[in-house]
Amino acid sequence: MGYLSKFVGVSAALMLLSVSIVGAEEKDPTKPRVPAEQMADAKAVKNPVEATPESIAKGKAFYEGKGTCFNCHGKEGKGNGPAGAMLNPSPRDFTNCKFHKKRKDGELMWVIKNGSPGTGMVSLIPAAVTEEEAWHIINYERSFCKGE
């Protein structure tokens, strides 16, 4: 009996450990975040900043600097930054090309402005960055998708 309960206790601890290592999952990244009634307006907002290498470099500096985006989204954009590991749902994985295909830049801007309610993604304009800085960051976040 004593052996069995010890065994159960150890396996439970191991299960907990593996859960905390794997971390939380993303909330389905293919589903829109902008409320339906605001979607048309959000999609109509076009990125005024062309995704040149200069813009992407600026975006990286804001992402890793004053924007603090890397804290949650990770320096490699995988959604596994030091603060992101504690969040449920977990931060967006920007290396996922399927996600990028599902979103217009205007929708990403909407979330950076308004946050994604019920998640750790809070409104960051103007708290962390200006709108213009956020367009550069969007260009950088797009660049994490390397494939199709």
Contacting residues toward ligand HEC, per CB under 6 A: 26-27, 29, 33, 67-69, 71-73, 83-84, 87, 89, 91-92, 103, 107-108, 111-112, 116, 119-121, 124, 128-129, 134, 137
Q: Which two tokens stand for residue 92?
A: 């967006």
Closer CB to ligand HEC, residue 60 or residue 103? 103
CB of 54 to ligand HEC, least distance (A): 18
Closer CB to ligand HEC, residue 71 or residue 80? 71
Closer CB to ligand HEC, residue 31 or residue 146? 31
**What's the burial of 34, exposed, middle or buried (CB within 10 Å: 0-12/13-18/19+)?**
buried
Distances (CA, A) of 6 to 2, 10, 129: 6, 6, 52
CB of 36 to ligand HEC, least distance (A): 14
Closer CB to ligand HEC, residue 56 or residue 69? 69
CB of 101 to ligand HEC, least distance (A): 12
CB of 137 to ligand HEC, least distance (A): 4
Q: Which two tokens stand for residue 110?
A: 């909407």
The DSSP result for 40-106, as a single string, is HHHHH----S---HHHHHHHHHHHHTTT-HHHHH-TTSSS--TTGGG-SSPPP-TT-HHHHHH--HH
